[in-house]
Amino acid sequence: MPTVMILGGRAPVALDHARRFAWHRWRVLVADSVPCRTSGWSNAVAATIALPPPRDQPREFARALAAAAQKHNVDLVLPTCEEVFYVARYRELMPTGVAVATDHIDKLRSLHSKLEFLKLAQGCGASVPDSVGVASIEEARDWARGRPMVLKPEYSRFGVHVQLHPNGIPAHSAALPLPGRWVAQEFCEGEEICSYSVAAAGRLTAHVAYRPLYRMSRSSSYYFDPLQVPTIRWFVERLVAKIGYTGQISFDWILGNRGSCTVLECNPRAISGVHLFAADDSLPRAFTGEEDAVVEPGVPKPRMLAPLMMTVGLASAIRESRIADWKHDFGRASDVLLESGDRLPMIGCVRDFGSHAWRAVRKRCTVREATTRDIEWDGEVLPEC
């Protein structure tokens, strides 16, 4: 029986990966630098491993990861969240014979940059928005010349600090809230779409696209409505072939009224598209390169994080007088956390949220910041190990 060690166990995507691999008769371990009961309490998981926080202790993280892979006879290391950048940087420390589902750090740096990625995306079959790197609001305003504009840090996540200026950047706009390079990008109107894919040595091995139908403000979605957009799949196939990519790769899109597809940015890691694959879909084989065809959800069906749908989603529907739509959408989706015969992850998720909230109090930050602060990477040079 092969063994997979899934990192970022705090995330619901890690839970779904664990269930898929277990269904396909893999021994599953999960590892993280914070409590990860969301996946660790699943009966799909054989053991949970504690690791040092990679952002604060990158060398220690790398050595502990390699030691755990050696001790537990791991065949595949599968990052899910931003610890992927640290795994990529120190992948040469992995014991011989351990496969790592990520590419090299230089390639991931270019994909993670909201500016450098757009250069890679040129010529791959999708529209690319006019963009430029800026260091101040004045520089962005001068470049925009009154055009509708989006401003965002070059390295960021979950839409944090993104500024939307559909009527142009006002003359009285405040200074950019964070130092470093920002990206000024033309504002694109249309429907927001996300895609999640897996590639092996430049070959697309798994793919799905979906609508993030319900979202936390302009941040993370908690309802995932699958759809097929051939242009998106074609773009992903061409991009991963162009750069010879290996690992998980995700994109944010704008689908225009006339069917045009504009790619906005890339996350070289897992996102919620993982949830749309059923247990018997051969997603694990996509990571090993054993599957000849591209793995797609066999019976696409919406998924949701039911606790958020029942609270945040319902409150939003009441405010917007969309109760009928909410009832319809709730009824056609299945929950990510609760699964027949595996109900402890729901309790684990509540416990994890409490841990994140307490960490936010101690660190004097938001709960969202507390959930990722120890694994974030913003393009800085990582030390030798």
Residue 228: inside a domain: yes
Task: Please indicate, yes or no, whether residues 226 and 264 belong to a single structural domain of this protein.
Answer: yes
Question: pLDDT at position 283, please?
Answer: 96
Question: pLDDT at position 258, please?
Answer: 79
User: pTM for this one?
Assistant: 0.96
Question: pLDDT at position 257, please?
Answer: 82
Task: Please indicate, yes or no, whether residues 59 and 152 belong to a single structural domain of this protein.
Answer: no
Task: Please indicate, yes or no, whether residues 319 and 365 belong to a single structural domain of this protein.
Answer: no
C-beta separation of 323 from 317 below 8 A: yes
Is pLDDT at 217 greater than 80 in this prediction?
A: no
CATH number at residue 354: 3.40.50.20
Task: Please indicate, yes or no, whether residues 209 and 295 belong to a single structural domain of this protein.
Answer: yes
Strand 163-165 versus strand 203-215 pairing type: unpaired
Within 10 angstroms of residue 364's Cβ, the number of other Cβ atoms is: 8
CATH number at residue 223: 3.30.470.20
Q: Which of the listed residues 161, 186, 211 is the one where a domain comes to its end?
A: 186
Is pLDDT at 158 greater than 80 in this prediction?
A: no
Residue 122: inside a domain: no
Residue 110: inside a domain: no
Task: Please indicate, yes or no, whether residues 15 and 87 belong to a single structural domain of this protein.
Answer: yes
Residue 361: inside a domain: yes
Residue 138: inside a domain: yes
Question: pLDDT at position 156, please?
Answer: 83
Task: Please indicate, yes or no, whether residues 212 and 139 belong to a single structural domain of this protein.
Answer: no
Within 10 angstroms of residue 132's Cβ, the number of other Cβ atoms is: 15
* Tens-digit pLDDT profile for residues 264-281: 999 999 999 999 999 999
Is pLDDT at 220 greater than 80 in this prediction?
A: yes
Question: pLDDT at position 324, please?
Answer: 97
* pLDDT band, residue 155 (cuts 50/70/90): very high
Pick the closest to residue 40 from 325, 287, 342, 298 (CA basis): 342
Mean pLDDT of 8-29: 97
Task: Please indicate, yes or no, whether residues 324 and 302 belong to a single structural domain of this protein.
Answer: yes
Question: pLDDT at position 359, please?
Answer: 85
Question: pLDDT at position 227, please?
Answer: 95
Question: pLDDT at position 18, please?
Answer: 98
* pLDDT band, residue 247 (cuts 50/70/90): very high
Residue 358: inside a domain: yes
Task: Please indicate, yes or no, whether residues 136 and 211 belong to a single structural domain of this protein.
Answer: no
* Tens-digit pLDDT profile for residues 319-348: 999 999 999 999 999 999 999 999 999 999
Provide the domain count of the chain.
3
Question: pLDDT at position 291, please?
Answer: 81
Mean pLDDT of 14-30: 98
Instruction: Provide the phi-psi class of 8: left if phi over 0, else alpha when psi is between -120 and 50, else beta.
Output: left
Residue 108: inside a domain: no
* Tens-digit pLDDT profile for residues 42-66: 999 999 999 999 999 999 999 999 9
Greater model confidence, 115 or 177? 115
Is pLDDT at 87 greater than 90 in this prediction?
A: yes
Spell out the SS3 assignment of the chain: CCEEEEECCCCHHHHHHHHHHHHCCCEEEEEECCCCHHHHCCCCCCEEEECCCCCCCHHHHHHHHHHHHHHCCCCEEECCCCHHHHHHHCHHHCCCCCEECCCCHHHHHHHHCCCHHHHHHCCCCCECCCEEEECCHHHHHHHHCCCCEEEEECCCCCCCCCEEECCCCCCCCCCCCCCCCEEEEECCCCEEEEEEEEEECCEEEEEEEEEEEEECCCCCEEEEEEECCHHHHHHHHHHHHHHCCCEEEEEEEEECCCCCEEEEEEECCCCHHHHHCCCCCCHHHHHHCCCCCCECCCCCCCEECHHHHHHHHHHHHHHCCCHHHHHHHHHHCEECCCECCECHHHHHHHHHHHHHHHHHHHHCCCHHHHHHCCCCCCCCCCCCC
Task: Please indicate, yes or no, whether residues 167 and 210 belong to a single structural domain of this protein.
Answer: no
Mean pLDDT of 346-362: 89
Residue 28: inside a domain: yes
C-beta separation of 273 from 252 below 8 A: no
Task: Please indicate, yes or no, whether residues 202 and 259 belong to a single structural domain of this protein.
Answer: yes
Task: Please indicate, yes or no, whether residues 311 and 202 belong to a single structural domain of this protein.
Answer: yes
pLDDT, mean over the chain: 94
Pick the closest to residue 91 from 117, 61, 71 (CA basis): 61
Question: pLDDT at position 371, please?
Answer: 84
* Tens-digit pLDDT profile for residues 283-297: 999 999 888 899 999
Mean pLDDT of 16-31: 98
* Tens-digit pLDDT profile for residues 71-83: 999 999 999 999 9
Task: Please indicate, yes or no, whether residues 282 and 150 belong to a single structural domain of this protein.
Answer: no
Q: Which of the listed residues 164, 186, 208 is the one where a domain comes to its end?
A: 186
* Tens-digit pLDDT profile for residues 183-214: 999 999 999 999 999 999 999 999 999 999 99
Domain residues for the domain of 366 are: 1-102+343-385
Q: Which of the listed residues 319, 335, 351 is the one where a domain comes to its end?
A: 335
